[in-house]
């Protein structure tokens, strides 16, 4: 029988407490490997689910407050007391309790599968995010590549939702989403290449570790030799990320004034809230990728130098989350300031401007790395 | 279903030609009556080839309340509250149009202070109405924030209206013979405060929305109405002036005290695109707010003392038999009232020429060849109020 080497090798504790005694009694040879795997997956899922829910709820509350203050009003103020902090909780409960409506004539399978697929992919994206040295669910070698490819699966969910809803507006939303995401994948992927060339790795963990210099301020955007590539590539990445996450001014898939609500017109209750959660989860993931590749990930003066341990990990999570949320805030800021672009202008922007520009940047980054490699001794 | 080819005469230069190389099945789609950007219960049946609109047809009548028929069944004065409800965003102007028509039948002249008060409040109402037009146009294009800014200023105006007549939307303030009451103490100062505040805020709106690159991309060269087409379809108001036609009833057929006020008639000049596009219509409205503010200031300066109403007009009005037509410049165009009296206390006929109705008739003809998002931009730039088109 296969046993997990870690648990199998661990000797039985001489003086156990109730938990260890129990475990020893039930599994004298240590836990079987499949149970470790299942438990690990369950714990990871619960952690991600909890984190995503909290982050998404906080983002929704923040979005409403940001929108409120930009629009000379206050936003939620009542629920929970302090500045309506419990508004998202109340909304979540309300959505949970609502009737689950599947419209007549809908493709029931697609209609029901779509929200699950969309939310599932959003959760899967969190796997590769480097929150702290000791807190990353999986250090995927192809981290960046993994994130882009997983985030594209969301589009399939959106198309399923639009097609399954038996509503013309939904189909329009789905088709726009398909066209838009397919065209913005290219600049998004290409704009991630300059940092990848700089780090020489696709792993987000490696990228973060390489930005630990200068007391934790040696971020890619601050590097004296690379900032002139880093800043434009970040701008390109950010614009493409906005389009990828269907945020304004690229929110054509659900453009309220044209398509009523786009692909989720017919959704209500908990299924609708899945789409909602996904939007904010995807925003956070895209911002987190930006924070990890351009803004040093968890590195920050004072945190980077701390001795390894739980406290450091906790502070790293805080730094990383705050950096990501700042970028999320910028996304909100953009949304409440700009009008929406038309679909043909979205395509023009993507293909005629962003793609060539990102190609130029990739080329420049490659050339720069080549010459830096030629003269390693002269330069820092 | 067979494709109804849009008649080529209506496709104007500058509009996108319909691409015919790839043919897919057309979609017929109902925009409205329940739709976020049809400004009420307008229903536009759109036939679209993908994102491109190939034909459009507007269906009216979801808000028909028989206003004109009611006019034949109630007293002359009792009809006044119904006028509030055609264009509920500019109720003062509607009151004025009806009152002027009745006064023309009666053959009376309103005292000067009443005339100035009317002009003042009508221009304030025009600002309030254009603020909504500008704010909701931002919403249609996808910018949410200008809407709230516009409402902030409109709120001040509604407070002003509330102070003088007690109502915030349906005023019935201007009535045959004059106005309901004189301005309460301090009210004129209140208006002056508003002018000072609005003057500071207006450039913000201009920078925030009108000069926004995306807004320009979305509205310039979209839904162009050439000069002759606008005239041929009987467009009035900003819709007509946006196409470069220099026609404003306030200057060309002066009523009230407009001949004593200095103001410019704003016409579309193709500031960012072609003359007569959606941008120009919004541009005209934006600048008209400034002109209205100027007129309000002049009214405040010239405001005479004295009576505000003609003493002979009571609650029961019995005009001599005859008919009268009075057209006035509403925020949305020429609001005409054609009234016929047979000498009794009830009108024989009340007919309303609603500007939104005439402006809307052209919309379905400029839509073919544009994109679905442009259809929203075109409806928004027309600035219709369904209460008025359906009456």
| A291-336 pLDDT per residue, tens | 988 888 888 887 777 777 778 888 888 888 999 999 999 999 998 8
Around Cβ A334, how many Cβ atoms within 10 Å? Answer: 16
Tell me the residue range of the domain where A321 lies. 91-370
State residue B340's pLDDT score.
92
Interface confidence, given as ipTM, is 0.79
Residue A336, min C-alpha distance to chain B (Å) = 6
* Residue A201 lies inside a defined structural domain of this protein: yes
Nearest residue on chain A to B38, alpha-carbon basis: A257
Q: What is the mean pLDDT of residues B100-116?
A: 89
Q: In the numeric block, which tokens belong to residue B104?
A: 């023309």
Residue A258, min C-alpha distance to chain B (Å) = 6
| A339-362 pLDDT per residue, tens | 888 888 888 888 889 999 999 999
Instruction: Evaluate if residue A93 carries a pLDDT over 70.
Output: yes
Domains belonging to chain B, first-starting first, are: 30-390 (1.10.645.10)
The per-residue pLDDT of chain A, averaged, comes to 83
| B117-158 pLDDT per residue, tens | 999 999 999 999 999 998 999 888 888 888 899 998 899 999
DSSP strand pairing (B174-175 vs B52-59): unpaired
Which of A130-139, B125-134, B194-203, B359-368 is least confident?
A130-139
Residue B231, min C-alpha distance to chain A (Å) = 29
CA A15 from centre of chain: 44
What size, in residues, is chain B? 391
Residue A71, chain B, CB below 8 Å: the answer is yes
B327 contacts B335 by C-beta, under 8 angstroms: yes
* Residue A54 lies inside a defined structural domain of this protein: no
**Which run of H or E residues covers position B49?**
strand B43-49
Q: What is the mean pLDDT of residues B341-358?
A: 88
Q: In the numeric block, which tokens belong to residue B105?
A: 């039948």
Q: What is the mean pLDDT of residues A38-56?
A: 83
Count up the domains in chain A and report the number: 1
* Residue A288 lies inside a defined structural domain of this protein: yes
Q: What are the residue ranges of helices labelled H in A126-212?
A: 143-164, 168-191, 193-199, 204-210
Share of chain A above pLDDT 70, in %: 93
Q: Name B53's bridge partners.
A: B48
B370 contacts B16 by C-beta, under 8 angstroms: yes
* Residue A77 lies inside a defined structural domain of this protein: no
Q: What is the mean pLDDT of residues A37-52?
A: 83
Please classify residue A224 by burial: count the beta carbons closer than 10 Å to its beta carbon, then call 0-12 exposed, 13-18 middle and 19+ buried: exposed
Instruction: Evaluate if residue B187 carries a pLDDT over 80.
Output: yes
Instruction: Evaluate if residue A365 carries a pLDDT over 50.
Output: yes
Residue bearing the bigger pLDDT, B133 or A27: B133
State residue A220's pLDDT score.
83
Q: What is the mean pLDDT of residues B191-207?
A: 89
| A221-272 pLDDT per residue, tens | 888 888 888 889 999 999 998 888 888 788 887 777 777 777 888 888 888 8
Q: Name A50's bridge partners.
A: none
Three-state DSSP string of B311-375: CCCCCCCCCCCEEEEEEEEECCEEEEEEEEECCCCECCEEEEECHHHHHHHHHHHHCCCCEHHHH
Which of A23-37, A70-84, A93-107, B35-49 is least confident?
A23-37
Around Cβ B229, how many Cβ atoms within 10 Å? Answer: 18
| A112-158 pLDDT per residue, tens | 888 888 888 888 888 888 887 767 777 778 888 888 888 888 888 88
Sheet containing strand B322-330, strands side by side:
B322-330, B333-341, B349-353
| B222-231 pLDDT per residue, tens | 888 888 888 8
Q: Name B336's bridge partners.
A: B327, B353
| B285-336 pLDDT per residue, tens | 999 999 999 999 999 888 888 888 888 887 888 888 889 999 999 998 899 9
Instruction: Evaluate if residue B192 carries a pLDDT over 70.
Output: yes
Residue A352, chain B, CB below 8 Å: the answer is no
| A197-221 pLDDT per residue, tens | 888 888 888 888 888 877 777 888 8
Nearest residue on chain A to B376, alpha-carbon basis: A258
Between the alpha carbon of residue B111 and those of residues A334, B114, B253, B305, B306, the distances in Å are 53, 5, 20, 10, 8
State residue A330's pLDDT score.
92
Q: In the numeric block, which tokens belong to residue A8?
A: 């199998």
State residue A5's pLDDT score.
53
> Which pLDDT band, with edges at 50, 70 and 90, does B368 fall under?
confident
* Residue A269 lies inside a defined structural domain of this protein: yes
State residue B55's pLDDT score.
84
Instruction: Out of A67, A248, A344, name the one closest to residue B142 (CB).
Output: A248
* Residue A8 lies inside a defined structural domain of this protein: no
State residue A4's pLDDT score.
55
State residue A6's pLDDT score.
53
* Residue A209 lies inside a defined structural domain of this protein: yes
Residue bearing the bigger pLDDT, B50 or B126: B126
> Which pLDDT band, with edges at 50, 70 and 90, does A1 fall under?
very low
State residue B307's pLDDT score.
84
* Residue A260 lies inside a defined structural domain of this protein: yes
State residue A95's pLDDT score.
86
A204 contacts A291 by C-beta, under 8 angstroms: no
| Contact check, Cβ <8 Å, A340/B141 | yes
| Contact check, Cβ <8 Å, B51/A343 | yes
Residue A368, chain B, CB below 8 Å: the answer is no
CA distance A217 to B89: 56
CA distance A372 to B210: 47
| B234-272 pLDDT per residue, tens | 889 898 998 888 888 888 888 888 888 888 888 888 888
Q: What is the mean pLDDT of residues B110-116?
A: 89
Residue A112, chain B, CB below 8 Å: the answer is no
Residue A256, chain B, CB below 8 Å: the answer is yes
């Amino acid at each position: 029988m296969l046993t997990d080497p870690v648990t199998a090798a661990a000797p039985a504790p001489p003086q156990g407490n109730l938990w260890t005694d129990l475990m020893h009694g039930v599994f004298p040879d240590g836990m079987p490997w499949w149970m470790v795997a299942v438990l690990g997956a369950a714990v990871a899922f619960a952690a991600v689910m909890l984190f995503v829910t909290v982050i998404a709820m906080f983002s929704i509350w923040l979005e409403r407050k940001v929108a409120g203050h930009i629009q000379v009003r206050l936003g939620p103020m009542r629920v929970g007391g302090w500045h309506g902090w419990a508004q998202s909780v109340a909304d979540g409960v309300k959505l949970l309790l609502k009737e689950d409506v599947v419209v007549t004539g809908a493709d029931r399978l697609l209609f029901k599968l779509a929200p699950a697929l969309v939310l599932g992919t959003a959760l899967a994206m969190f796997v590769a995010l480097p929150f702290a040295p000791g807190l990353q669910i999986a250090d995927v070698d192809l981290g960046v590549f993994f994130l882009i490819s997983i985030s594209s699966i969301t589009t399939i969910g959106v198309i399923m939702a639009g097609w399954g809803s038996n509503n013309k507006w939904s189909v329009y939303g789905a088709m726009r989403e398909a066209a838009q995401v397919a065209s913005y994948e290219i600049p998004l992927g290409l704009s991630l290449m300059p940092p990848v060339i700089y780090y020489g790795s696709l792993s987000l963990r490696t990228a973060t570790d390489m930005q630990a210099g200068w007391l934790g301020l040696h971020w890619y955007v601050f590097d004296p030799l690379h900032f002139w590539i880093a800043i434009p590539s970040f701008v390109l990445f950010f614009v493409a990320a906005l389009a990828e996450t269907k945020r304004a001014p690229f929110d054509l898939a659900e453009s309220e004034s044209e398509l009523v609500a786009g692909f989720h017109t017919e959704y209500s209750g908990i299924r609708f809230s899945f789409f909602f959660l996904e939007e904010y989860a995807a925003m956070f993931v895209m911002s987190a990728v930006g924070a990890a590749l351009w803004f040093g990930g968890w590195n920050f003066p004072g945190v980077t130098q701390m001795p390894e341990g739980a406290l450091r990990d906790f502070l790293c999570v805080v730094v990383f989350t705050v950096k990501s949320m700042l970028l999320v805030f910028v996304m909100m800021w953009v949304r409440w300031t700009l009008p929406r672009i038309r679909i043909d202008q979205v395509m023009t922007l993507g293909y005629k401007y962003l793609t060539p520009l990102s190609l130029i940047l990739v080329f420049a980054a490659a050339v720069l790395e080549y010459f830096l490699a030629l003269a390693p001794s002269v330069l820092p | 279903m067979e494709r109804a080819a849009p008649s080529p005469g209506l496709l104007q230069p500058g509009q996108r030609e319909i691409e015919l190389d790839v043919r897919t099945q057309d979609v017929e789609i109902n925009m409205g009556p329940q739709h976020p950007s049809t400004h009420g219960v307008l229903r536009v049946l759109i036939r679209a080839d993908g994102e491109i609109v190939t034909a459009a047809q507007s269906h009216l009548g979801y808000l028909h309340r028989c206003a004109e028929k009611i006019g034949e069944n109630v007293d002359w004065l009792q009809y006044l509250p119904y006028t509030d409800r055609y264009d509920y965003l500019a109720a003062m102007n509607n009151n004025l149009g009806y009152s002027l028509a009745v006064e023309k039948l009666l053959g009376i002249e309103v005292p000067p202070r009443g005339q100035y008060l009317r002009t003042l409040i009508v221009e304030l109402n025009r600002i309030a109405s254009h603020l909504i037009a500008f704010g909701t146009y931002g919403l249609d294009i996808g910018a949410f924030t200008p809407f709230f800014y516009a409402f902030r200023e409109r709120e001040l105006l509604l407070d002003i209206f509330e102070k003088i007549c007690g109502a915030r939307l349906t005023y019935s303030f201007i009535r045959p013979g004059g106005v309901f009451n004189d301005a309460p103490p301090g009210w004129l100062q209140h208006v002056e405060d508003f002018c000072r505040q609005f003057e500071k805020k207006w450039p913000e709106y201009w920078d925030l929305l009108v000069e926004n690159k995306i807004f320009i991309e979305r509205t310039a060269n979209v839904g162009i109405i050439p000069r002759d087409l606008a005239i041929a379809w009987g467009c009035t108001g900003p819709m007509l002036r946006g196409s470069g036609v220099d026609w404003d009833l306030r200057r060309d057929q002066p009523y009230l005290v407009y001949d004593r006020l200095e103001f410019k008639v704003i016409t579309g000049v193709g500031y960012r695109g072609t003359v007569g596009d959606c941008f120009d219509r919004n541009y005209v409205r934006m600048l008209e707010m400034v002109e209205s503010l100027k007129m309000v200031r002049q009214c405040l300066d010239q405001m005479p003392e004295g009576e505000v109403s003609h003493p002979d007009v009571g609650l029961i009005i019995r005009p001599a038999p005859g008919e009268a037509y009075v057209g006035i410049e509403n925020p949305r165009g020429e609001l005409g009232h054609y009234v016929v009296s047979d000498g009794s206390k009830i009108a024989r006929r009340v007919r309303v020429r609603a500007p939104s109705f005439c402006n809307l008739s052209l919309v379905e003809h400029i839509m073919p060849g544009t994109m679905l998002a442009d259809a929203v931009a075109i409806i928004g730039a027309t600035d219709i109020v369904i209460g008025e088109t359906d009456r």
